[in-house]
Chains A and B, each alone.
Chain A
Amino acid sequence: MRYIKLPSENFEKFFNSLKAWGSIYAPVKRGSIYSFQEVQRAEEVALDYNRTMLPPKKFFVRPRDEILRLKNGRWENGTDAEPIVLFGLHSCDIHGLKILDKVYLDEPVDPYYKARREKTFIVGISCMPDEYCFCKSLGTHFAMDGFDLFLHELPDGWLVRIGSVRGHEIVWENGELFEEVTDEDLKHFKEFEERRANAFQKEIPQEGLADMLDLAYNSPVWKEYAEICLACGNCNMVCPTCRCYEVCDKWISAYDAVRERRYDSCFMENHGLVAGGHNFRPTRLDRFRHRYYCKSYFDPSSGYNCVGCGRCDEFCPAKIEHVKVLEEVRGSLR
Chain B
Amino acid sequence: MMDKLKLAVFELTDCGGCALNILFLYEKLFDLLEFYEITEFHMATSLSEGSHYDVALVTGTVSSQRDLALLKEARNHSDYLIALGTCATHGSVQASVEGSIREKLKRVYGDEGNPMRALDSKPVVEYVAVDFALPGCPYDKNEVYQVLIDIAKGIEPVKKDYPVCVECKLNEYECVLVKKGLPCLGPITYGGCNAACIRSGLGCIGCRGPLPGEVNPASEYEILKDLGYDDDYIIRKFKTFARWEP
Is chain B found bound to chain A in the same assembly? yes
Most buried by A among B35, B166, B222, B223: B166
Quote the shortest CB–CB distance from B131 to chain A (angstroms).
18
| Residue pair B161, A268 in contact (C-beta under 8 Å) | yes
A54 vs B178: C-alpha distance when bound (angstroms): 15
| Residue pair A265, B179 in contact (C-beta under 8 Å) | no
Residues of B contacting A30 in the complex (Cβ-Cβ under 8 angstroms): 174
Q: Which of A118-126, A248-256, A325-333 contacts B (4 or more CB under 8 A)?
A: A248-256
| Residue pair A230, B170 in contact (C-beta under 8 Å) | no
A232 vs B188: C-alpha distance when bound (angstroms): 7
Q: Which of B50-58, B106-114, B116-124, B212-220 contacts A (4 or more CB under 8 A)?
A: B212-220
| Residue pair B186, A232 in contact (C-beta under 8 Å) | yes
| Residue pair B161, A229 in contact (C-beta under 8 Å) | no
With A32-B180, A317-B178 already in contact, the answer to whether A265 and B149 are too (CB < 8 A) is no
A-contacting residues, B181-202, CB 8 Å: 186-188
With A237-B169, A253-B31, A317-B177 already in contact, the answer to whether A269 and B220 are too (CB < 8 A) is no
With A254-B31, A270-B161, A318-B223 already in contact, the answer to whether A233 and B174 are too (CB < 8 A) is no
A227 at the A/B interface (Cβ < 8 Å)? yes
B87 at the A/B interface (Cβ < 8 Å)? no
Sorting the interface of chain A by its residue count into under 10, 10 to 19, 20 to 34 or 35 or more gives: 35 or more
A-contacting residues, B201-233, CB 8 Å: 213-216, 218-220, 222-223
A83 at the A/B interface (Cβ < 8 Å)? no
| Residue pair A284, B214 in contact (C-beta under 8 Å) | yes
B48 at the A/B interface (Cβ < 8 Å)? no
Assuming A230-B215, A251-B149, what are 6 further A-B pairs, CB within 8 angstroms?
A53-B174, A231-B215, A253-B31, A315-B175, A317-B178, A317-B223
Residues of B contacting A63 in the complex (Cβ-Cβ under 8 angstroms): 169-172
A166 at the A/B interface (Cβ < 8 Å)? no
Q: B residues touching A (Cβ–Cβ < 8 Å)? A: 28, 30-32, 34-35, 145-146, 149-150, 158, 161-163, 165-166, 169-172, 174-175, 177-180, 186-188, 213-216, 218-220, 222-223
Residues of B contacting A35 in the complex (Cβ-Cβ under 8 angstroms): 172
- Pair count A-B, CB < 8 A: 109
A195 vs B233: C-alpha distance when bound (angstroms): 47
| Residue pair A254, B171 in contact (C-beta under 8 Å) | no
Can you list, as one digit per residue, whether each of A2-16 has a CB less than 8 Å from chain B (1) or not (0)?
000000000000000
24 A-B residue pairings within 8 Å (CB atoms): A32-B174, A32-B179, A54-B172, A63-B172, A227-B219, A228-B219, A228-B222, A230-B216, A230-B219, A231-B216, A233-B165, A233-B169, A234-B169, A237-B165, A237-B170, A250-B146, A254-B30, A254-B32, A262-B170, A263-B166, A270-B161, A284-B214, A317-B220, A317-B223
A287 at the A/B interface (Cβ < 8 Å)? yes
Residues of A contacting B218 in the complex (Cβ-Cβ under 8 angstroms): 227
B-contacting residues, A60-82, CB 8 Å: 63-64
Most buried by B among A32, A35, A317, A318: A317
Q: Which of B166, B174, B219 has a CB less than 8 Å from the CB of A33?
A: B174
Residues of B contacting A32 in the complex (Cβ-Cβ under 8 angstroms): 174, 179-180
| Residue pair B187, A265 in contact (C-beta under 8 Å) | no
Quote the shortest CB–CB distance from B173 to chain A (angstroms).
9
Quote the shortest CB–CB distance from B219 to chain A (angstroms).
5
Q: Which of A33, A58, A230, A253 has a CB less than 8 Å from the CB of B187?
A: A230
Residues of A contacting B174 in the complex (Cβ-Cβ under 8 angstroms): 30-33, 53
Q: A residues touching B (Cβ–Cβ < 8 Å)? A: 30-33, 35, 53-54, 58, 63-64, 227-234, 237-238, 248, 250-251, 253-255, 262-263, 265, 267-270, 283-284, 287, 314-318
Residues of A contacting B31 in the complex (Cβ-Cβ under 8 angstroms): 251, 253-254
Residues of B contacting A269 in the complex (Cβ-Cβ under 8 angstroms): 161, 213-214
| Nearest neighbor of B220 in chain A, beta-carbon distance | A230
| Nearest neighbor of A320 in chain B, beta-carbon distance | B219
With A233-B163, A269-B161 already in contact, the answer to whether A314 and B178 are too (CB < 8 A) is yes
A262 vs B192: C-alpha distance when bound (angstroms): 13
| Nearest neighbor of B216 in chain A, beta-carbon distance | A230
With A30-B174, A31-B179 already in contact, the answer to whether A229 and B165 are too (CB < 8 A) is no
Quote the shortest CB–CB distance from A268 to chain B (angstroms).
5
Residues of A contacting B161 in the complex (Cβ-Cβ under 8 angstroms): 268-270
A30 vs B199: C-alpha distance when bound (angstroms): 12
| Residue pair A232, B170 in contact (C-beta under 8 Å) | no
Quote the shortest CB–CB distance from A318 to chain B (angstroms).
6
A253 vs B172: C-alpha distance when bound (angstroms): 27
Quote the shortest CB–CB distance from B8 to chain A (angstroms).
20
Residues of B contacting A316 in the complex (Cβ-Cβ under 8 angstroms): 178
A265 vs B215: C-alpha distance when bound (angstroms): 13
Quote the shortest CB–CB distance from B193 to chain A (angstroms).
15
Quote the shortest CB–CB distance from B222 to chain A (angstroms).
7
A262 vs B31: C-alpha distance when bound (angstroms): 25
| Residue pair B162, A233 in contact (C-beta under 8 Å) | yes
Quote the shortest CB–CB distance from A101 to chain B (angstroms).
22
Residues of B contacting A31 in the complex (Cβ-Cβ under 8 angstroms): 174, 179
A58 vs B35: C-alpha distance when bound (angstroms): 37
Residues of A contacting B35 in the complex (Cβ-Cβ under 8 angstroms): 254
| Residue pair A229, B219 in contact (C-beta under 8 Å) | yes
Q: Which of B32, B145, B158, B214 has a CB less than 8 Å from the CB of A231?
A: B214
